[in-house]
Amino acid sequence: MTHSRLENFTISFFAMFLGLGGFALLFQKAEIFMYFPFHVSNYVAGVTIILFVILLIFFFARWIKYPNAVREEYHHPIKINFFATISIALLIFSIFFLAVNVEISKYLWIIGTVLHLIFTLSVMSAWTNKENLKREHLNPAWFIPIVGNILIPIAGITHFPKDISWFFFSVGIIYWILLFTIILNRIIFHKTLPEKLRPTMFILIAPPAIGFIAYVKLTGTIDSFGKILYFFSLFLFLKLIYQFKIFFKIKFYLSWWAYSFPISALGLASSLMYHKTDIVAYMYISYSFLALLTLVIIILTYKTIIAMTKHELCVPEEE
């Protein structure tokens, strides 16, 4: 990577690890809950973690050599949200390691949670104190810091008192409701999202799907509120699939990776539904999401590699 490409190494790259980490998790849960015959989750997680470390090295190298470039992204009204993908990736790894090594999971959770709290406070302060924020800057990527807070309880209740997890869940779920209303207003009544940001519409699925998993972990049961979260996320998925023609026309951007994590979240939620209810239909729904996610990950990986070979990534971006 040349110096100029290092300078243009964007924080958006880390969004890949939400999808790849979710992919490893979905395979892991299929192996545990649904007796999936192929044990590949450890390999997927291993490759994902290695890639994460490599990109983290690039990120710190860029921070040292081009601090102004990193600072500019951190003060960008849209890109600032993607810094939270680093802490969310650590939280996803923490969840994966619950079934592998609890001690490693604990340390990953501590680092990820502290880092995510810092990002959440910073991002939310930027929302209320930035004079350069405009209506067109509002998009579903703003949910990224929110999703992290909802994700924290999934491994958190294993490591620390439950009230800590309830704290983060409360922050995430309330802000999800508020932000969902604002973003829906933006999408319906104002200018269409730019093509580059349209894949982020799939992020709308993630908060209720992850919220369902976290809520069940916190309460130990599937009650009416839990079912509302699950079925609402399922409806959002069906709504977006109904509009598939809109997404098929979009040229490849890194934002395409926004398709992956929400699908994995719904697959994991369906797996948990099957585990808690023993209703076979949920097992088949989860397998369907696993098959769809596998296809999506293959396409995204191929598209990303092609874009890298054509030097279409790590180049100055058009605003």
> Which two structure tokens, joined as six digits, stand for 78?
């849209």
Domain tally, the chain: 1
Q: Which structural domain range is residue 89 located in?
A: 3-309
- Within a domain: residue 316? no
pLDDT attached to residue 9: 86
CA dist., res. 155 & res. 128, Å (int): 30
> Which two structure tokens, joined as six digits, stand for 19?
């999808």
CA dist., res. 126 & res. 76, Å (int): 10
Q: Give every CB contact of residue 179 below 8 A, 6+ residues apart in sequence.
A: 142, 143, 146
- Within a domain: residue 318? no
Tell me the DSSP string of the chain: --HHHHHT--GGGGGHHHHHHHHHHHHHHHHHHS--S---HHHHHHHHHHHHHHHHHHHHHHHHH-HHHHHHHHTSTTGGGGGHHHHHHHHHHHHHHTTT-HHHHHHHHHHHHHHHHHHHHHHHHHHHH-TT--GGG--GGGGHHHHHHHHHHHHHHHHS-HHHHHHHHHHHHHHHHHHHHHHHHHHHHSPPPPGGGGGGGGGGGHHHHHHHHHHHHHHSS--HHHHHHHHHHHHHHHHHHHTHHHHHTSPP-GGGGGGHHHHHHHHHHHHHHHHHH--HHHHHHHHHHHHHHHHHHHHHHHHHHHHHHTT-SSSPPP-
- Within a domain: residue 215? yes
Identify the CATH number of the domain in which residue 94 sits: 1.50.10.150
- Within a domain: residue 314? no
- Within a domain: residue 293? yes
CA dist., res. 294 & res. 261, Å (int): 12
pLDDT attached to residue 294: 94
Identify the residue whose tokens are 């940001």: 197
- Within a domain: residue 315? no
CB 271, CB 34: distance < 8 Å = yes
- Within a domain: residue 201? yes
- Within a domain: residue 319? no
pLDDT attached to residue 318: 57
Per-residue pLDDT of the chain (319 residues; tens, 9 = 90+): 445 778 888 898 999 999 999 999 999 988 887 777 778 888 999 999 999 999 999 999 999 999 998 998 888 888 888 999 999 999 999 999 999 999 999 999 999 999 999 999 998 888 777 666 677 777 888 889 999 999 999 999 999 999 999 999 999 999 999 999 988 888 887 777 788 888 888 999 999 999 999 999 999 999 999 999 999 999 999 999 998 877 777 888 888 899 999 999 999 999 999 999 999 999 999 999 999 999 999 999 999 999 888 887 877 765 4
